[in-house]
Structure 1
């Protein structure tokens, strides 16, 4: 009993937020000490089979239930507006505890990459003066975002001790900024006679919304849709395989309750979709070069066309160094290649995207070898895809692991996807973080030294 009381006291001192700070309807109480690391949980109970629901119950037992939210029931933007509004009210009334809670607050999001994208977007849209940093619990299939930041690829456990261990890591984690990227798709507004159906967007792409155009644009009957990403945007065969996986999971959710089996099923779908025999199963119209003209901006105000080899069937605009379950498609170019191609070391807060191409699934498997990488196409501050008129009637796309099938008007030659820098958000990273920040140069210098020692083992297809 004594041990239980000691643990409860420890949890309250570290993480527990008093109820009156979270709900303005509750009476104010006198607080003698402020929690060291106050946290708010946002949990996608639909992620990870039954793991999300189990995690929710454990967190409610460890923390104040008012600190724990089910993303299937509670909209995070409304919750955060309510909490921050209440904290501001209390601060204006002289509540020093509320001021400290606001200063120390950390958010935890549990789910897949799409769930992390969702909460990142909410924080970005709120435009808080001092936004809270975010930690990510991996409950999805790919888990590229938590892996990049050092939180691992597998669920850390939903039992009491596992959650307490994770909370201790959140408390000691360092803050790091990562770039946010804006993506806008513009095209002719659909007409009633158009054959394609409305786009079925995943929850995490709820921000990919219709954007009003200017009067001059409306005379051309154009429309635009906007979203954001923090890990990657991809288009082509990889997104098609991902879309097949998500579609099957939506129809048969009971078959996707095991994280390991989900990953095996994903690989199997890659085979059945022809990703490993792309040259045989897919015509040239599926090649990125046939699908769209790609332009990049390296220097402000100057667009230049990017040459895409005809063998490339998938293109990735990468911000974090993790793709397809923890693989790094950019790798680390040696010093000679960096000089020859005017490349810089990849950082997550440098305002640059790494643009990488893949030929097929076999090309992707090169990432499993020492120093393996995809076809390095460019580094850029902005990227633009202008789709060729009548090339295809749809394209498969992904933002941070969430795929969709985008219909394309066959008689419209002005379909454009443009990616540009949107600012930055604060995340939490552990000592196992593989993402490199400009502010933590010592780690990157060490990595580069190790890379130079192993240059002789490089395995790649193209540079």
Structure 2
């Protein structure tokens, strides 16, 4: 949390953002510098006696992220103003007097004392007055766009002239609005009591949060109405409060905008801008006692994995607050699998929050990765066994063949700053080989020049551009394979022979990889019939069809089956009966594979040829190799790899040991 210090030399400081210090008051503002592109710059300073109210551009202005109040910075650091009541209070976000709460817990009539409206004056009502012109019966989600407009209409001062009949009041909790004259006609209870509007089920109410000397953070959340019953079950608590973690670095500047927007919609103390591990620990410490708590992570797969790792370290297995996702990353594979969307849609931000409270809880496996370095004797022994492990025509001509670029060139610039594991756990996938090499070059270029990656279309263009650097490896695909550089052991069985035709090895925990593909594939019947429907409704271009490997249609191969045929075969002359016949045969031959499940403590191993790497983006799949509980990938040479979309380079031969590392709870969106 940054602070603004007084220019006059006194001890007054103004904290930027949400203030968790000892100086914080229940009605403290969340100050941020007012940006030049903010539509509210036309508003003047809200300090009543400000001499420069109409000269906002001549002095630094700050804006409250919760109530939108605008003030000159020097008013907030001046002793003459901070010691009086001339600065309007913000919405209360917590209660300072825990004794006051305790005195009310036994009085049912006072249970709603803190659930009060926070009225703010507006010059124009953003929607029909609730008293004289009721709105039509609509879904709560339909008024979200009106809420956005409503916030933008809220002025920064209460000193306006209310003679205009269009002037009115808006509650900054529930967003109900009234003409000023209509509001005067309301019953006293209606003027006070607030139900928090459409967010009533997920919002953290101020009276639930108070100071606590027992907490390292100085705050603790516990709803007093629930705590009166010592035998109460969590399910008896009628609300599902949602904490929100936002990575401001995800999605360009989108993360910062989402953070500021949610400060206005929710209690600002339930929205956290991810800075480091301490931010997550801080939030969990405060809200660990809040029943039915759920978490929404606004970020990419890496951010989600980061938060889940901290949850796994804090809570016992399968006992953490379940997590939903607002996707801000590039691939967003976990978000796709859990049906939260493939990319950020600003019109669905509030839908995501509301659906978080209703989503189905699911169990997600986590996998641990440990690197084991070889000594010289072990490495020599492995090499000897490799040469004696059977006949392969590529070995005979190995001295005449060059290894692939990512193995041959060990000093590539993209390798320099990415030579360690990005994490020791993964939840989506790991991969080794050609795809990781391309991803690493793409990642390094994005770090060097972010301006080239400002849109999804530019990202795709840059990915193709980086792929072209490996044209020679694609062209010589029949002359090299990962089986020459990797030894694969699944559940103590050496199955290296199954990757003799593979150029990428993928270790899958979820049915999602590389921005929405499914290398393991669906069940055979649905996969084949989906393809039949496409063939019957779309006239396929013959050039595209001739690029599809027959092995991609061969949807269910077992480890140990005959090596798949990598020759290209046209599908345009196959009728429905032929494809359905193929379906029946393949299902019977691979019955030992179970349907993929990201919570079954098993992991899937898939091999991709260069043909597969293109075909999976057209809905086909790779070569299924194994389902196992643990595996060891022995790298005989330096190798490119990626973990949950984070590419890296292993500069020395190592054994990569992957084993189950517990489970965490996530949320699957059943109401897309």
User: Given the alignment of the two structures, is residue 387 of structure 1 paired with residue 573 of structure 2, yes or no?
Assistant: no
Contact 2:489–2:632 under 8 Å retained in 1: yes
User: Given the alignment of the two structures, is residue 326 of structure 1 paired with residue 512 of structure 2, yes or no?
Assistant: no
Pick one of 327, 333, 337 that aligns with 1:138: 327
Pick one of 625, 640, 650 that aligns with 1:377: 625
Deviates more, 1:331-340 or 1:112-121: 331-340
Larger Rg: 1 or 2? 2
Q: Aligned pair in 2 of structure 1 residues 80, 45: CA closer, same or farther (>3 Å)?
A: closer
Residue 366 of structure 2 corresponds to which residue in structure 1? 180
Contact 2:504–2:608 under 8 Å retained in 1: yes
* TM-score normalised by L of structure 2: 0.51
Residue 340 of structure 1 corresponds to which residue in structure 2? 589
Distance in 1 of aligned mates of 2:223 and 2:595: 51
Q: Aligned pair in 2 of structure 1 residues 29, 421: CA closer, same or farther (>3 Å)?
A: closer
For 1:20-39, list aligned pairs within 5 A.
Answer: 21=209, 24=212, 25=218, 36-39=239-242
For 1:288-437, list aligned pairs within 5 A.
Answer: 288-297=482-491, 302-332=492-522, 334=524, 336-341=585-590, 342-360=592-610, 362-369=611-618, 372-388=620-636, 392=637, 394-408=638-652, 415-431=654-670
- The answer to which structure, 1 or 2, has the higher relative contact order (CA under 8 A, 6+ apart) is 1
Distance in 1 of aligned mates of 2:223 and 2:625: 59
Q: Aligned pair in 2 of structure 1 residues 183, 7: CA closer, same or farther (>3 Å)?
A: same
User: Given the alignment of the two structures, is residue 67 of structure 1 paired with residue 270 of structure 2, yes or no?
Assistant: yes
Residue 124 of structure 1 corresponds to which residue in structure 2? 312
Distance in 2 of aligned mates of 1:378 and 1:117: 25
TM superposition shift of 1:321: 0.8
Unaligned regions of 5+ residues in structure 2, if any? 1-124, 131-169, 177-195, 213-217, 227-236, 376-409, 525-583
TM superposition shift of 1:273: 3.2
Distance in 2 of aligned mates of 1:31 and 1:124: 28
Q: Aligned pair in 2 of structure 1 residues 343, 282: CA closer, same or farther (>3 Å)?
A: closer
Unaligned regions of 5+ residues in structure 1, if any? 89-97, 190-194, 209-226, 410-414, 434-463
User: Given the alignment of the two structures, is residue 42 of structure 1 paired with residue 245 of structure 2, yes or no?
Assistant: yes
Contact 1:11–1:62 under 8 Å retained in 2: no
SS at match of 1:320: coil
TM superposition shift of 1:368: 3.7
Q: Aligned pair in 2 of structure 1 residues 365, 306: CA closer, same or farther (>3 Å)?
A: same
Pick one of 466, 480, 483 that aligns with 1:269: 466
TM superposition shift of 1:11: 5.0
TM superposition shift of 1:348: 1.4
Q: Aligned pair in 2 of structure 1 residues 152, 84: CA closer, same or farther (>3 Å)?
A: closer
Distance in 2 of aligned mates of 1:430 and 1:153: 13
Contact 1:179–1:348 under 8 Å retained in 2: yes
Contact 1:329–1:374 under 8 Å retained in 2: yes
For 1:152-301, list aligned pairs within 5 A.
Answer: 152-157=341-346, 162-187=348-373, 200=417, 208=423, 227-274=424-471, 278-280=474-476, 284=480, 287-297=481-491
Contact 1:58–1:163 under 8 Å retained in 2: no
Distance in 2 of aligned mates of 1:318 and 1:115: 19
SS at match of 2:343: coil
User: Given the alignment of the two structures, is residue 147 of structure 1 paired with residue 336 of structure 2, yes or no?
Assistant: yes
Distance in 1 of aligned mates of 2:599 and 2:588: 21
TM superposition shift of 1:169: 1.8
* TM-score normalised by L of structure 1: 0.72
Residue 412 of structure 1 corresponds to which residue in structure 2? none
Contact 1:12–1:35 under 8 Å retained in 2: no
Q: Aligned pair in 2 of structure 1 residues 174, 116: CA closer, same or farther (>3 Å)?
A: same
Q: Aligned pair in 2 of structure 1 residues 202, 406: CA closer, same or farther (>3 Å)?
A: closer
Residue 459 of structure 1 corresponds to which residue in structure 2? none
Per residue, is there more strand in 1 or in 2? 1
Distance in 1 of aligned mates of 2:616 and 2:645: 18
TM superposition shift of 1:125: 1.9
Q: Aligned pair in 2 of structure 1 residues 116, 246: CA closer, same or farther (>3 Å)?
A: same
Paired residues, number: 373
Contact 2:221–2:287 under 8 Å retained in 1: no
Q: Aligned pair in 2 of structure 1 residues 248, 404: CA closer, same or farther (>3 Å)?
A: same
Q: Aligned pair in 2 of structure 1 residues 257, 378: CA closer, same or farther (>3 Å)?
A: same
Q: Aligned pair in 2 of structure 1 residues 136, 39: CA closer, same or farther (>3 Å)?
A: same
Contact 1:149–1:432 under 8 Å retained in 2: no
Contact 1:49–1:258 under 8 Å retained in 2: no
Show CA shifts across 1:28-72 (max 9, x none): 99866977221111112111111112111111221222222222x
For 1:4-23, list aligned pairs within 5 A.
Answer: 4-5=170-171, 6-7=174-175, 9-11=196-198, 13-18=200-205, 21=209
TM superposition shift of 1:357: 1.0
Distance in 2 of aligned mates of 1:27 and 1:168: 24
TM superposition shift of 1:271: 3.0
TM superposition shift of 1:202: 9.9
TM superposition shift of 1:305: 3.0
Residue 449 of structure 1 corresponds to which residue in structure 2? none
Residue 54 of structure 1 corresponds to which residue in structure 2? 257
Contact 2:222–2:287 under 8 Å retained in 1: no
Q: Aligned pair in 2 of structure 1 residues 36, 264: CA closer, same or farther (>3 Å)?
A: farther
SS at match of 1:82: helix
TM superposition shift of 1:385: 0.8
Root-mean-square deviation over aligned CA pairs: 3.2
SS at match of 1:14: coil
